[in-house]
Structure 1
């Protein structure tokens, strides 16, 4: 009886010591985001993460373990995001999180992630708060909006000779980060001797649909360049009003405006839009695609998630968000623990084989600080700059 008791105690101790989400045969990874509701198109991100996992599993997995992606639909509602992540951690016992679409959604679940000590790779948002409040657990790969805005502003002044800049932005954390980046960079450029002025800061409220007042104000300020941090719908409304006013400023737009409906808008011809990752020929035209992005699209997205191939930007983003997780899982070795994964993530240095150029977490938790500018032309999107790095 004593021997049986000791055996049971040993087994119980092993069970307690076992890392959640890891067995001899699999690693369980969680993700959340909109698969229904008004932002359901962003569900492509999770579909593409699953495609990458299937590709890795087809090659033998990670140290003999298959990757299992467990997803939850939050309908783009932060309250549902919280419930989804609680379920992923408590019921599904995931080892780590990857992706997670939306700034408000991600910020809502951040306290849970930090309280439970869950590694979280690539929140799908450009908010600087994820890296700033990482607590060593959250690894951001999406170039944050403040850096993106600063880089676009620098390019506008130094390369396009813009002198009178205005910003059109959504009055929330997303838009305010774009505003901060613009203000910070203009101050630095003025200090360096450039003749540049912010002539106006024009905002709108989330849910507002008519941008006639904002368009009139921007035209009145006579800005030669307008930086945009808005939703695609608000941008389309503003562009329509610009057309009625016959106002044609140069437009530089956040990566959030790489939206198929907006790209097809004739009023956006000539506009420059930022991207934080390498793009394939299917997006930027034959012969213009990055070889790494072309390979990812053709060997991962098309064969493993053909439905996602119809939305190539979001599909590539999903793969890109998950690539550093794969790299770190390999580096963490067969004796996988959360601390081993975190150490491997912190060791990613100048990783240039994925969709994000020169990804690096050795000096902080914001791994990507680069953007490239694309121009909308009659033939489609075309590269307009090299990678700009902050």
Structure 2
């Protein structure tokens, strides 16, 4: 802005021009705020952006001269333009019209990636949108990759909350500990998550509730099953290292040992790309009749192949994240007899809800796995909450609906689900028999008291 123009109009006049021009931009950008409503007056748009402090700010800047006055005007312009991009409330990407923005922080890449959950959620949201969305409004699903890194998790969470304005997160599954790392941000902004938890702390945070039981509950129940149902109380354990992994494994060990399990060999130093052969050799030397593997699908396949090559004849049990159909395809005959668990309706069931889930995943090209099933369930639960809200759908209204603790049912869950601490504490053991996963035994449920010892 030139000095000659400032002398002709005066900086106060230039500010007025800025206000009017920016207001016109806002009106063109945002249009009418609601169906049948009238666009706000230009001055109202500018005043809303600045808030109640704007008149005082303007009075103060009237006394400035020269480039200082120009700087103030430029700063005002920047503030208005930035504020205008929100086109309304900063309470979340819902409001009374347009799409409903829903986010997720997920470890899509990194040493221990978990891409399946958000793939399942996307398939569910695609189905919901194809049927008309939520009262005619489409769900826009924004997934951010934290690359299994806590610093990146913090960065992308802020993007979802502050830039995207999501009304909540769905199917977040973060090896970087998003539920813990970003808890203060989510609490401050009232952005709640129906996700999948890796860390036990995820089940104790007010803004996060997992649909899955998680590795601690599932792992402990599997170890207890092997001891009580297979008659093998003395076991071996090795788990893949990662953010919070040691605390997770320590919790599994504590709960399992409280139920009579003993560990002849226990390792939490297995890196995702390590060869499992040394661990298999150690298990054999320790005389382990049962070996629990905690890791994702590729490391289970490598473990099964190494066990087969080493002639290990004991029972192998793996975490639910490795419960996939592709494990059988990749490991071949080495997968026969391996145990895992599901925290939802078994993938092999011919139940109508499972068939619908499988069709949705096939249509989307996503994986059929326990984790994608969890993401699919999380999206369906979240959509039911959105549909229950009267009035504007915002982060605060979603949080209020979840805080009501209304029990939610879903045919893919083993029990009713309520947003809160430890909402899912059940698993169904599965075993590969004749090259296919099949359920074994009854549903196992861990008492909540066992988690508080």
TM-score by structure 1 length?
Answer: 0.81
User: Which residue is equivalent to 1:193?
Assistant: none
Give SS of 1:103's match: coil
Question: Deviation string for 1:90-145 (max 9, x for gaps)?
Answer: 222222111223221524444432343311221x333211122x1x2112212122
Distance 1:263 1:110 in 2: 38
- SS of the residue aligned with 1:226? strand
In the alignment, structure 1 residue 388 sits paired with structure 2 residue 453 = no
On the 8 A contact 2:167/2:393 being kept in 1, the answer is no
* Secondary structure class of the residue paired with 1:371: strand
Change (3 A) 1:49 1:238: closer
Going from structure 1 to structure 2, the CA distance change for 1:76 and 1:5 (only over 3 Å counts) comes to: closer
Deviations 1:187-209 (A, max 9, x none): 23x4xxxxx53222133342451
Counterpart position of 2:289: 224
The answer on whether the counterparts of 1:175 and 1:229 sit within 8 Å (CA) in structure 2 is no
Answer yes or no: is 1:99 the counterpart of 2:166. Answer: no
**Aligned with 1:272 (options 315, 339, 350):** 339
The corresponding residue for 1:117 is 190
Superposed displacement of residue 255, structure 1: 0.5
Quickly say closer, same or farther: Cα 1:99–1:372, change in 2 above 3 A.
same
State the alpha-carbon separation in 2 of the partners of residues 34 and 198 from structure 1: 31
Residue matched to 1:33: 106
What secondary structure, in the 3-state scheme, does the structure 2 residue paired with 1:153 have? helix
Question: Residue 199 of structure 1 aligns to a residue in which SS?
Answer: strand
What is the distance in 2 between the residues matched to 1:4 and 1:231? Answer: 56
Give 1:165's match in structure 2, choosing from 231, 235, 241.
Answer: 235
Counterpart in 1 of 2:264?
199
1:142 maps to which residue? 212
Q: CA RMSD for the aligned pairs?
A: 3.2
Tell which structure's C-alpha radius of gyration is larger: 2
CA distance in 1, matches of 2:385, 2:207: 13
Equivalent residue in structure 1 for 2:414, among 336, 357, 360? 357
SS at match of 1:30: strand
The answer to whether the Cα contact below 8 Å between 2:183 and 2:207 also exists between their aligned partners in 1 is no
Cα distance per residue 1:148-203 (max 9 Å; x no partner): 12211222122211232221223443354244224323323x4xxxxx53222133
Q: Is residue 2:202 matched to residue 1:130?
A: yes
Contact 1:57 1:66 in 2 (8 A): yes
Distance 1:256 1:175 in 2: 17
- Tell me, yes or no, if the aligned pair for 2:345 and 2:412 is still in contact at 8 Å: yes
Alignment of 1:247-266 (within 5 A): 247-259=312-324, 262-264=327-329, 265=331, 266=333
How far apart, CA to CA, are the structure 1 residues paired with 2:44 and 2:278? 75
Matched residue, 2:134: 62
Structure 1 unaligned residues grouped into runs of 5+: 191-195
Q: In the alignment, which residue of structure 2 is the partner of 1:184?
A: 255
- Counterpart of 1:323 in structure 2 is 380
Distance 1:212 1:47, change over 3 A: closer
Aligned to 1:295: 356
1:371 offset after TM fit, Å? 0.9
